[in-house]
Amino acid sequence: MSKNKTHFNSANIAILGASGYTGIEAIRLLVNNSNYNIVDLSADSNAGMSVSEVYPHFSRINLPDLKKIEDINFSKVDAVISCLPHGKSQKILSSLPTNIKICDLSADFRFDNIQSYEKVYNKSHEAKGLQKEAVYGLTEINRDKIKKARFVANPGCYPTSALLPILPLIESNIIKYGTIVVDSKSGVSGAGRTLKNNLLYGEVSEGFSAYGLVNHRHSPEIQSQITNFGSSEYKVLFTPHLLPIKRGILSTIYLSINDNFNLENVVNCLRDKYSEEKFIDYSDTIPSTHEVRGTNFCKMQAFFDENTNKVIIISVIDNLIKGASGQAIQNLNLMLGFDESDGLINFSMFP
């Protein structure tokens, strides 16, 4: 296969950090996608093991064994999904051959401004050249740029749920300058697979808590994208919460609209923007996480509160799919010339 092609008949893909939740979701979505051949899987802490030893539900699927990244022969790889932790992606991804298409799920390349990244994550950026190449991978907003990109920085799960409803309204000048409140709730898989006391079943079940108040790292990511897309006159107030469920994000967004607009304008704007999209649905009922669990869909609905003169938008996604691995594959499909929806059309598991 020619490595200079912009359209592939099929692509050899490596998944880095394959034993985490986002890595294993990428595998699950790719095994039935004829566009991709999974040729390498890295998981340094589990190197030498088969995938089924870590995840027994893959016992009947023929997959490469897990290995260390340095043992991968990248000359045989056309595309990479990187599910490595924040801070680990920079040196590794910047060292890969420049013909490889890359979608990175870490936060390392999501900020156009290097100084913003260094301030938020309190560490220096070690791949400034690659950062200049990165395209922010919010698919339905940046599709044209993603098609031409070699390197895509996948958005965070919370920002995906918030930005998809907000950005079209900013583009249409419907949202009034001022504070946009984003109140989000996520399942525990959003914290990854690392063992943490506060994520144990006995700690999480039958409870509901806020965390990361005023300093959660997704807040400046949301802010930077809104500023880039619209204006710094919009300010984001973001609060995340931990739900005692495995997966799913529900974001409740509160905003003011300019005087010459009403709820009908908001609804029409979102319907018009996403009417042809396969993975975004303006719902006629209040969306719930049940409706998107295990899918690459985002569902949303808008309401108007006359008492406060505020618009309320409910947005739901599966944090591991539209918020991570599904959107990454959607982006790679575009980058490699495949149909954008290949391997991603399915329906929610219910109940």
Span 103-109, average pLDDT: 97
Catalytic residue among 103, 157, 269, 298: 157
Could you give the percent of the chain with pLDDT greater than 70?
A: 97
pTM: 0.94
Span 146-160, average pLDDT: 98
Residues in the chain: 351
Q: Which residues contact 337 (CB under 8 A, 6 or more apart)?
A: 5, 6, 7, 8
Which pLDDT score is estimated for 4? 44
Query: With contact defined as beta carbons under 8 Å apart, do 324 and 22 qualify?
Result: yes
Ranges of H-type helices in 155-286 = 157-171, 201-204, 218-229, 263-274
Split at pLDDT 50, 70, 90, the class of 7 is low
Structure tokens at 331: 């982006």
**What amino acid occupies position 272?**
D
Q: Is the dihedral of CA 189, 194, 198, 201 positive or negative?
A: positive
Which pLDDT score is estimated for 6? 56
Span 101-113, average pLDDT: 96
Task: Please tell me whether residue 196 adopts helix, strand or coil conformation.
Answer: coil
Given the candidates 3.40.50.300, 3.30.360.10, 3.40.50.1370, 2.40.30.10, the CATH classification of the domain at 158-319 is: 3.30.360.10
The DSSP 8-state label assigned to residue 175 in this structure reads: B
To the query of whether residue 83 is one of the catalytic residues in this protein, the response is no
Which pLDDT score is estimated for 1? 40
Structure tokens at 317: 């996604």
Which pLDDT score is estimated for 197? 67
Span 104-133, average pLDDT: 94
Which pLDDT score is estimated for 202? 74
Report how far residue 13's alpha carbon sits from residue 335's, in angstroms, rounded to the nearest whole number. 13
**Stretch among 79-83, 148-152, 209-213 having the lowest mean pLDDT:** 209-213
Q: List, for residues 279-338, the tens digit of each pLDDT value.
A: 999 999 999 999 999 999 999 999 999 999 999 999 999 999 999 999 999 999 999 999
Q: Residue 81 pLDDT > 60, yes or no?
A: yes
Q: Residue 3 pLDDT > 50, yes or no?
A: no
Q: List, for residues 48-70, the tens digit of each pLDDT value.
A: 999 999 999 999 899 999 999 99
Structure tokens at 179: 């504070």
Which pLDDT score is estimated for 257? 97
Span 243-262, average pLDDT: 96
CA 207 from chain centre, in angstroms, equals 26
Report how far residue 203's alpha carbon sits from residue 39's, in angstroms, rounded to the nearest whole number. 39
Structure tokens at 168: 């079209």
Which pLDDT score is estimated for 193? 67
Identify which has the larger pLDDT, 2 or 39: 39
Which pLDDT score is estimated for 62? 93
Q: List, for residues 187-210, the tens digit of each pLDDT value.
A: 988 877 676 767 777 778 888 888
Q: Cite the residue boundaries of each domain of the chain with CATH code 3.30.360.10.
A: 158-319
Structure tokens at 142: 């940046």
Given the candidates 3.40.50.720, 3.30.1360.40, 3.40.50.1860, 3.40.50.2300, the CATH classification of the domain at 11-155+323-336 is: 3.40.50.720
Distances 90 to 93, 130, 153, 221 between C-alpha atoms, Å: 6, 8, 12, 18
Mean pLDDT of the chain: 93
Could you give the percent of the chain with pLDDT greater than 90?
A: 85
Q: Is the dihedral of CA 28, 187, 55, 351 positive or negative?
A: negative
Identify which has the larger pLDDT, 196 or 145: 145
Span 124-148, average pLDDT: 96
Report how far residue 25's alpha carbon sits from residue 101's, in angstroms, rounded to the nearest whole number. 19
Q: Cite the residue boundaries of each domain of the chain with CATH code 3.40.50.720.
A: 11-155+323-336
